[in-house]
Structure 1
Amino acid sequence: MDDLSRVLIVEGKQDRNKIKKILDDEDVFILCTFGTLGIDALEELVDDYHLFDRDVYIFTDTDEPGEKLRKMLNRELSHAHNIYIDKKYREVEDAPEHVLASILQAANMKVKVDYLKGFSQ
Structure 2
Amino acid sequence: MMMVEKTIIVEGSSDRKRVAEIVKEPVDIICTNGTIGVSRLDELVDELFERDVYILVDADASGEKLRRQFKRELPHARHLYIDRSYKEVASAPHRYLASILMGANIDVRGEFLQKEGTQQ
TM-score relative to the length of structure 2:
0.90
Q: Deviations over 1:43-74 (max 9, x none)?
A: 12223xx2111111100011000000011011
Q: Deviations over 1:12-63 (max 9, x none)?
A: 100000110111012x21111111112122112223xx21111111000110
- In structure 2, C-alpha distance between the alignment counterparts of 1:68 and 1:46, rounded to whole Å: 17
- In structure 2, C-alpha distance between the alignment counterparts of 1:112 and 1:40, rounded to whole Å: 35
**Segment drifting more, 52-61 vs 35-44:** 35-44
**Equivalent in the alignment of 2:92:** 95
Q: Which secondary structure does the structure 1 equivalent of 2:84 belong to?
A: coil
TM-score relative to the length of structure 1:
0.90
- In structure 2, C-alpha distance between the alignment counterparts of 1:94 and 1:118, rounded to whole Å: 18
- In the TM superposition, structure 1's runs of 4+ consecutive aligned residues that sit over 2 Å from their partners are 44-47
**Equivalent in the alignment of 2:58:** 61
Identical-residue share of aligned pairs (%): 48
Task: Give the counterpart letter for 2:31 in structure 1.
Answer: C
- In structure 1, C-alpha distance between the alignment counterparts of 2:32 and 2:115, rounded to whole Å: 29
Number of aligned pairs?
116
Instruction: Identify which of 49, 52, 57 aligns with 2:49.
Output: 52
Task: Say what the alpha-carbon RMSD is for the aligned residues.
Answer: 1.5
Q: Which secondary structure does the structure 1 equivalent of 2:83 belong to?
A: coil
**Equivalent in the alignment of 1:14:** 14
